[in-house]
Amino acid sequence: MAPAITHFLVGASLLLYVALIALLRYEFPVEHTLWVVPIGGVWGVVPDFHHIAPAYNDALYAFHASPWVEVFALHYTLDRAAIRAQYHESIFAAIAVFTVTVASVWIAARYRTVTRSAETRRERAVIAGVATVIAAGLATIALGVTISIHQSLGSVAALVGLSGVYTGWVITGVWGVGVAWLWTIAIEVALLESRISAPVFGAGIGCLGGVATWLTSAIVILPILTSQSVPVVHWGGLAALLTYGTVFGAAYTTLRSAFTAPTEWTTRTATETDTHRG
C-alpha cells in the first residue's frame, strides 16, 4: 500500500479541487475551505481503516482490495505495486500536488474578489478557456476512476497497441483534456446565456454528449480499432462517458456562470451588508 500521508494529501487535494470550483461560483468565506483539508484527507485514508478496526478485519480488507476503493481519492491506483515501489517519491509527489492545489485555491479566491464579470468578448473567451481546463481536469479524474472500477485501464491502452494500467491512465488523461473543448463548444451552442448559469442544464448536455460519443465509438471507432465488422458494445464505457459528460457539464457551467451573473451567495451577502449598514 502507498504511505498513509500520500492517501491523505491526495484526498485533501482532490476535495480542494472541487472546493475551488465552488469558491469561484458561490464565494463562500475562504476560511471555511480549511475544513476541506482534513475531510478530504480522511476520505482518502478510509479504506485503510482495516488496519485499526477492532472487528470485521477480513471484510474490511476485502473491500480495501476491491476496485471500488478507487472512489476514495484514487486509493486503488495509489496502492498498485508501481506506486508502492516509489515510496518516498510518492510522498514528495503528493506534497507537491497538495501545495499546488492550495496555491490554486488561494489564487482563485483573490481573483474572484477583484473580477466580478466578463464583459468583453475577449474576457468571456478567457473565462470559457479557464473553465474548460478546470472542468476537464475534474471530469477526467472521474472518467479514470470509472474506468478503473471496471478494470478497463489496460483495455484502454490496448486500443492504441500499448499495455499497462498507467499507460491507460495517460491515454485517458490526454483524451479527457482533448475532447473537453468539443464539450465546451456543444454547451455554448446548445445553451442560452440565461441557462448557462444552471449546472443542471450543463450536466444534461454533458450526458447527451456522453451517449453520442459512446454510440460513435461503438458503431464506428472501436470496430475499426479492433478490426471487427459489428458494433463493439461496452456498458462500462457508457458509464464512464456518462460520468465524464455529467461532471464536465456541471463543472463548466458552474465556473462559466461565475463571471456572467450575480451568484446566490453574492446577492445574499450584499443584501445582508446593506441591511446591516441601514
For the stretch 196-225, pLDDT in tens is: 667 888 899 999 999 999 999 888 888 887
For the stretch 152-203, pLDDT in tens is: 999 899 888 888 899 999 999 999 999 999 989 988 888 766 666 678 888 9
Place 54 in a pLDDT band, splitting at 50, 70 and 90: confident
pLDDT of residue 116: 58
For the whole model, what pTM was predicted? Answer: 0.84
For the stretch 248-262, pLDDT in tens is: 999 998 888 776 644
State the DSSP string of the chain.
Answer: ---HHHHHHHHHHHHHHHHHHHHHHH---GGGGGGHHHHHHHHHHGGGGGGT-SS-HHHHHHHHTSGGGGGTTSHHHHTSHHHHTSHHHHHHHHHHHHHHHHHHHHHHHHHHHH-----SHHHHHHHHHHHHHHHHHHHHHHHHHHHHHTT-HHHHHHTTT---HHHHHHHHHHHHHHHHHHHHHHHHHHS-TTTTT-HHHHHHHHHHHHHHHHHHIIIIIHHHHTT-SS----HHHHHHHHHHHHHHHHHHHHHHGGGTS--HHHHHHHHHHHHHH-
Domain ranges for the chain: 1-117, 118-260
